[in-house]
Structure 1
Amino acid sequence: MKRIVSVSLGSSRRDHSFETEFMGVKFHIERIGTDGDWNRAIDLIRELDGKVDAFGMGGIDLYVYIAGKRYVIKDARRLMNEARKTPMLDGSGLKNTLERKCIMDIQRDGIMDLKGKRVLMVCAVDRFGMAEAFEEIGARLTLGDFIYTVGVPIPMHSLRTLRILGSVAAPFIVNMPFDKLYPTGKEQDVIIPKHSKYYYLADVLAGDFLYIRRYLPEKLNGQVIITNTTTREDMQMLKKRGISKVITTTPDMGGRSFGTNVIEAIMVTLMGRPIDKITPADYFSMLQELNLKPGVVNLEEFSA
């Protein structure tokens, strides 16, 4: 049995393990949160390095992509460098294919007509493929990268604007302490409604779940969330706050959806090739073979 361990800087309250099968290969998949403790995460990677088939890097991305250019998040290197024998995946190699495909599947399969819908992406630079797919379909985008990530109240409404402003800001942002950019540890359990008008105006809230959750208003009016890494407890909370439906870009695995870092780790394990030899076309081909479909939870029918 293949073993995948996602080492996350996030809360240990969100830990989960699950056994499943992909392409005839059995997998034990585990998420271990370190509550924002970098030293604990490093110790865990050192302990398991060479003993598991692949690591997922949870709660942090190694790269962000803007208009085809890759920017390395400085703090993420600290974790990546500790995995010397076992490949470590943060999901960035897969996001542009999996999440783009998910949006297209939602539209093509009639899950939801996204054309003309008002879509808030709290942070688009870590979901650039998803943002491009929304724009291609004809959704009306509000990109909250500057509002919610660095506290500058500038909403953007096109990827062209994000490309221009993002390419200027990215070299500085990726060198900031990561906990200033993204909630880690116990901070992931805290919800601080902020600039709520953009949530109220949206039909769809899309992107990283912890970003969406972090600033979620007390009561919304039937919005749909397109995201991943959701738990049953998250679904209960979202139902109480007025969300009507949750669509996950990764399938349900034992009561929760895992992040793209885990799906990428599974795919790299199945391919059995060095990471630097795997192309976006390889990911797309395997996605077609695995036939991963969006998960859909109608919260009006959801019960604990």
Structure 2
Amino acid sequence: MKNIASISLGPLSLDCNFKTNFLGHDFEVVRIGTDNDFKAAEKLVAEWRDKVDALGLGLVHDHYWVGTHYFHQRDTAKLEKLAGDTLVSTGARLREIVQEWSLRSAQQELNSFFNNAKVLFLSGTTNYRLASVMGEYTENLSFADPVLQFGAPGLLHSLKALERYAAGSDPVLRFGPEDRVLPSLAPAKLVNKVLLKRAVRDADVVVASYHQLERYGPEDLDGKVVLTSTISPDRQQALKERGVRVVIDCSIQLFEQTVGLNIIEAMILAALGKPAKEIAHDDYLEIFTDLDLKPRIIYPIEGKKQINRFAFVIHPLSQKYLTNLKPLEILSKVSPPAVMDVVEKAIAHTPPMVYSPVEGIRSPSGVEAKGWLITVGGTPKQIMSHSPEFTYRQLLAAADMAKKMGAQIMGLGAFTKVVGDAGVTVAKRAPLPITTGNSYSASGALWAAHDAAARLGLVELEHGKRIKGKAMVVGATGAIGSACSRLLARTAEEVHLVSPESAKLLVLEKSILQESPEAKLVLASYADSDRSIGDMDMIVTATSGAGKKILDIMKVKPGCVITDVARPLDLPAEEVAKRPDVLVIESGEVYLPGEVRMKQIGFEDHNVVYACLAETIVLTLEGRFENFTLGRTIEWEKVHEIYKLGLKHGMRLAAISGVNGVFSDEDIDRVRRLALEAREKAKHPSGQHASGPDVALEE
């Protein structure tokens, strides 16, 4: 029987005594706390050193390196010296391995959660090795050492700053343990309690001992991921009550009793019969392998996991949107149009800013997403009047902002994804992954079109999916347009591809026919030049016309379903009003899972968002922090994949809406009735073809 005693500066209430078998040896282990009484710890070490095979020292400061500086802990050295010839361990060697192993394992299990995360270390100097590993994933590191040790009114924000601080503070701190140094600064520490609470609340991840975490309540720790150690069931319950989502326990659970790493390493020393400095890393690797150890990643709240983070770039869709700002609304009422034109030009040069935080998105998987809508000032008119490099600079500034806020991916909205090479250059230069959202926009557009056609009931859907009719894509060579063209080529009897870019159109045709040899395709430069426009059962408009007329709605077949994907819309309200017998819907908006909280972005229901934003959110929930949709060629596989991932995370098609809001069943029935009447008149003309104008006048 081998005997182990752990003398801890921790609380007496955690004392325990147990027997177990470990590494082929029988052990009896006793843990004795001292309630931070160092003198009592000295007496206990002297008392137990000759009674045991190895001693563990709990809640003492390890000797450690910070950068190139080695920090020798005087009080720890005293206890080690008192142990005499008895093997003694603080758990430092094992802790170094377990902490890094736990962190890297969590990064893998949580799908790169630590990428760009805001991480707060309550003690950076004693966790320097862990901070260095964390620095591989994020630069958003903060260290509370100067606040806790000196009452200084500020945190450190880089490893270099921590190294300089450690070197400069060592001559002072070496005179005593942290909690007993500089008592004259205690009032300053109390003043900075508010600063620390704010830092904890602002962090995504908090690295601290459990005793440090006890100082903070649910208002501070709700939604957090914490890296700590020695989490017993009681401690797990306490963290659950504080709202902690994920606990990464940097210790090993080998026994029914939760014990510190100093005890486990003392048992290893006793089993191997040699001090820690003589144990090779291969010995530890063999132990980990033989025991089949697993990292402890705990989800205290059932059904709730980590909160991932995203950013999404928006911009005003017209000069009218600028008047949503109260000062500009007043200015627009008293100023001539020329003044607002100048304002529009000036605002295009303003730096990005956060328009709204986004919270409350919750996947059935338990993962949540939060984010920030970042606005750049340019309207489509201004964006298109500048060189692509102008917009690139704005987007890269937004990406830098997003990274500092902790976003793991950034999406591009509206015209920001149209400019230049459609996100490729931005993705190359940005400090975080980029997606345009066009894969889900294409999927959502046809999802909505299919749903609208099914509700309207004027075109036959074979097996509920394939369209027995003709379809047209206006803007077919664009990113979303080309994806819609490929999808419709698989589902419609005949597809008309419309684009003024003749060369690109020919290449697109060849590409589609290689994928779908049976597809029947017709090419046209403009929608109105295609004489078959009046035969279309479904039309998708996906141009970047920014207000230019892209088709004559009066030529469209009664009962046609037009899906307008463009922003600003290709078909303004006054055009749509001319044809009440045509169903014009606004792309395919997506309904997010959860109870979403954010400022309005054009929908009364905050759970409803554009599909491009939904793509960014789906990737965030899935933990797919990668450049997903970029450029003007969208892969069919990604369109299909993002659709499936959306369903997995609880996304659904929002209510079908048009320029005047959501279409009710009565609205759909009215369009159907008018379309059937118009078609009947076309069959039996009374002197004139019953085209759009007659229907409009009739209404």
TM-score using structure 2 length: 0.39
| CA distance in structure 2 between the aligned counterparts of 1:281 and 1:176, rounded to whole angstroms | 36
Per the alignment, residue 122 of structure 2 pairs with: 122
- Do 1:14 and 1:33's aligned partners in 2 also have CA atoms closer than 8 Å? yes
Deviation, 1:286, is 4.1
Instruction: Say whether the 8 Å CA contact 1:205–1:224 is kept in structure 2.
Output: yes
1:176 aligns with 2:146: no
Q: Does the 8 Å CA contact 1:228/1:250 hold for their aligned counterparts?
A: yes
Aligned residues: 291
> Residue type matched to 1:148 in 2?
L
Q: Give the match for residue 184 of structure 1.
A: none
Q: 1:255 to 1:127 in 2, by over 3 A?
A: farther
Q: Is the CA contact 1:75–1:175 (under 8 Å) kept in the aligned structure 2?
A: no
CA shift in 2, pair 1:135/1:178, >3 Å: closer
Distance change >3 Å, CA 12–CA 58, structure 1 → 2: same
- Give the residue type in structure 2 aligned to 1:39: K
Deviation per CA, 1:199-232: give whole Å up to 9, x if none.
Answer: 1111111132223334x13523211211112333
Q: Corresponding residue for 1:213?
A: 214
Q: Is the 8 A contact 2:225 2:244 kept in 1?
A: yes
Corresponding residue number in structure 2 for 1:14 = 14
Aligned match of 1:72: 72
- Render the CA deviation track for 1:207-264: whole Å, top value 9, x for unaligned: 32223334x1352321121111233332222222221222211123556643332232
CA pair 151-288 structure 1, distance change in 2 beyond 3 A: farther
Summarize the Cα distance change of 1:300–1:70 in structure 2 as closer, same or farther, 3 Å threshold. Answer: same
Deviations 1:47-97, CA, capped at 9 Å, x for gaps? 211221211111212413211532122222332221113122112233322
1:148 corresponds in structure 2 to 148
The 8 Å contact of residues 193 and 217 in structure 1, kept in 2 or not, is answered as no
Output the CA distance in 2 between the equivalents of 1:148 and 1:286: 37
Residues 98-146 of structure 1 show CA distances to partners (whole Å, capped at 9, x for unaligned) of 2112111212344762222221111021122211111113363211111
Which amino acid letter does the alignment assign opposite residue 225 of structure 1? V
- List alignment gaps of at least 5 residues for structure 2: 182-191, 304-699
Secondary structure of 2:50 counterpart? coil
Q: Larger Rg: 1 or 2?
A: 2
- Given that 2:93 and 2:276 are in contact with CA atoms closer than 8 Å, whether structure 1 keeps it comes out as no
**What is the rounded CA distance, in whole Å, between the counterparts of 2:286 and 2:84 in structure 1?**
28
Distance 1:256 1:115 in 2: 34
Deviation larger for 14-23 or 121-130: 14-23
> RCO higher in 1 or 2 (8 Å CA, sep ≥ 6)?
1
Q: What residue number does 2:38 align with?
A: 38
- 1:209–1:281: structure 2 CA closer, same or farther, 3 Å change rule? farther
> Which residue type is aligned with residue 71 of structure 1?
F
**Alignment match, 2:134:** 134
Provide the rounded CA distance (Å) in 2 between the counterparts of 1:150 and 1:57. Answer: 26
- Amino acid paired to 1:243: V
Query: What's the counterpart of residue 90 of structure 1?
Result: 90
How far is the alpha carbon of 1:280 from its aligned partner? 5.2
For 1:124 and 1:279, how far apart are their aligned partners in 2? 27
* Inter-partner Cα distance in structure 2 for 1:60 and 1:102: 21
Cα pair distance change 1:111/1:227, threshold 3 Å: farther
What is the alpha-carbon distance in structure 1 between the residues aligned to residue 103 and residue 231 of structure 2? 17
User: Partner of 2:199 in structure 1?
Assistant: 198
**What is aligned with 2:102?**
102
Give the Cα separation in 1 of the matches to 2:14 and 2:151: 27
Task: Give the TM-score normalised by the residue count of structure 1.
Answer: 0.84
Tell whether the 8 Å contact from 2:123 to 2:144 is kept in structure 1 after alignment.
Answer: yes
Q: Indicate conservation of the 8 Å contact 1:123/1:144, yes or no.
A: yes
Counterpart Cα distance in 2 of 1:250 and 1:28? 20
Deviates more, 1:259-268 or 1:198-207: 259-268
CA contact (8 A) 2:247 2:300 kept: yes
Higher deviation after alignment, 280-289 or 118-127: 280-289
Q: 1:108 to 1:20 in 2, by over 3 A?
A: farther
How far apart, in 1, do the equivalents of 2:253 and 2:207 lie? 18
Helix, strand or coil: the match of 1:101? helix
Identity of aligned residues (%): 28
Q: Is 1:73–1:175's contact at 8 Å kept on the other side of the alignment? A: no
Query: How much does 1:25 deviate?
Result: 2.9
8 Å contact from structure 2 (residues 87, 274) kept in 1: no
Against the structure 1 CA distance between its residues 39 and 205, is the aligned structure 2 distance closer, same or farther, given a 3 Å change threshold?
same
Partner of 1:227 in structure 2? 228
Structure 1 stretches lacking a partner, 5+ long:
182-191
Is 2:62–2:126's contact at 8 Å kept on the other side of the alignment?
no
1:157 shift after superposition: 2.1
Sort the Cα spacing of 1:169 and 1:25 in 2 relative to 1 into closer, same or farther, 3 A: same
Structure 1 stretches of at least 4 aligned residues deviating more than 6 Å after TM superposition: none
**Residue pair 2:101, 2:295 contacting (<8 A) in 1 also:** no
